């Protein structure tokens, strides 16, 4: 079973990586960019039957820093 975890900075948290990408895009001549936020995408290949609770525990304990980051879980195949 596959799952994807999207980790994004919470609104209001400074994002120097996003700022750098924004600046670089402008330097390359892309003018219509108003804001850039950088996040992480983690693709998990899990044993069938892994519950949503388990995936959420992985996010809370390791994958995301919940003080400054939000996470969203997307299952690619339904739970067994």
Binding site for its own copies (CB under 8 A): 6-8, 18, 21, 24-25, 28, 30-47, 49-50, 54, 57-58, 61-63
Nearer of residues 30 and 77 to its own copies, judged by Cβ: 30
How many other CB atoms are there within 10 angstroms of residue 41's CB atom?
10
Locate 74 and state its tokens: 């997307």
Minimum distance from CB of 66 to its own copies (Å)?
Answer: 15
Given CA atoms 33, 39, 45, 51 in this order, what sign does their dihedral have? Answer: negative
Minimum distance from CB of 16 to its own copies (Å)?
Answer: 14
């Amino acid at each position: 079973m596959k799952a994807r975890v999207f980790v994004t900075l919470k609104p209001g948290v400074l994002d120097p990586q996003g700022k750098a990408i924004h600046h670089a895009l402008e330097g390359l001549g892309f003018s219509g960019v108003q804001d850039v936020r950088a996040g992480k995408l983690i693709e998990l290949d899990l044993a069938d039957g892994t519950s949503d609770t388990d995936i959420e525990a992985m996010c809370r304990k390791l994958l995301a820093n919940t003080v400054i980051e939000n996470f969203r879980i997307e299952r690619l195949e339904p739970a067994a």
